[in-house]
Amino acid sequence: MASSATDIVCVTGANGFIGSWLVQTLLQNPRYASIHASIFPNSDASHLFELQPDAKSRIKLFEVDVLDAAAVTRAVDGCSGVFHVASPCTLEDPADPQKELVLPAVQGTLNVLEAAKKCNVKRVVLTSSISAMVPNRNWPPNKSFDESSWTDLDYCKSRAKWYPVSKTLAERGAWDYAEKNGIDMVAINPATCLGPLLQNSLNASSAVLQQLLEGSKDTQEYHWLGAVHVKDVAKAHVLLFESPNVSGRYLCTNGIYQFSDFANKVSKLYPDFPVHRFPPETQPGLVACEDAAKKLIDLGLVFTPLEDAVREAVDSLISRGFLHHKS
């Protein structure tokens, strides 16, 4: 992308875990004169204005339900780039998955892309997920997962795993729309994001670590490839917006490995917490890969060590009262 000191960009889901870190990363770069922060109506965004000394003058808040196409267009108008981060992700199983997860993810994404087309946005960076890549029963054995993998929808529906269904349908629909309408779009597929919470609420990926430290026996079988520091995910978004020759999907994880390996590392860092000892293969057949995010590494992204991400996340969970400190 051409560089200037006056870029105006829109971030949807700006007050969520990834969104807040993305806003902070953009504020730290003087290139971005203004950020249109799109948040769900009546949700708390007060923390965004504390991220940088000049945050109040550079953030313009838009209360937007992504299912409201006109409201989406108002937030996108005047922007050279859009980071579409917003997508529902609940800690509890939804009562009505179609209404609560699938429709907002799929139609909301199409509304953002339509607004981007109307407003002549230069590039859209779509926040997808590894949940649009796995589980995939048809993936060849003895091969490490890469960006060509897509989630097996029938498998997820049969097991009522609706979050991967929503993310997969949203990303597939986005590619279809972007290709038909000539929109410059790239997708980023982050693994489990960890790090300090900037927002005031507990998000789903941070809850994975919280629950693990509290003794959860959930193997994360359907939702795991690896973990990544949320600040690296934010940096990757900006890198994908600014790099001229990027296209397609970008897996964003600091390696691929079993959840049992992750749990063992967490247990060694925090031996006083009741971390469950899992069998070695929590993800049957998963092939480990240190440089799974090779496409992003080749663009210059340097990943934060996993141990640092875990420590910073735990410190944040404890300080915010989401995790009881073990002395």
pLDDT band at 326 (very low <50, low <70, confident <90, very high): low
3-state secondary structure of 37: strand
Phi, psi for 93 (deg, rounded to 5): -65, 135
Q: How large is the average pLDDT for residues 198-213?
A: 95
- Per-residue pLDDT, 1: 47
- Per-residue pLDDT, 89: 74
Our answer to whether residue 167 is catalytic in this structure is yes
**Distance from the Cα of residue 109 to its chain's centroid:** 14
Q: Other C-beta atoms within 10 Å of 301: how many? A: 17
Q: Which of 167, 231, 235, 295 does the annotation list as catalytic?
A: 167
Q: Which amino acid is present at 170?
A: A
Domains of the chain by start residue, with CATH: 7-195+226-255+287-303 (3.40.50.720)
Query: Rounded to whole angstroms, how far apart are CA atoms 196 and 317?
Result: 8
Q: Residues for the chain: how many in total?
A: 327
Q: Which of 142, 223, 155 is nearest to 189 (CA)?
A: 223
Considering the chain, what percentage of its residues have pLDDT values greater than 70? 97
- Per-residue pLDDT, 2: 45
Q: Which of 230, 254, 89, 246 is nearest to 164 (CA)?
A: 89
- Could you read off the pLDDT of 151-166 as tens digits, one per residue? 999 999 999 888 899 9
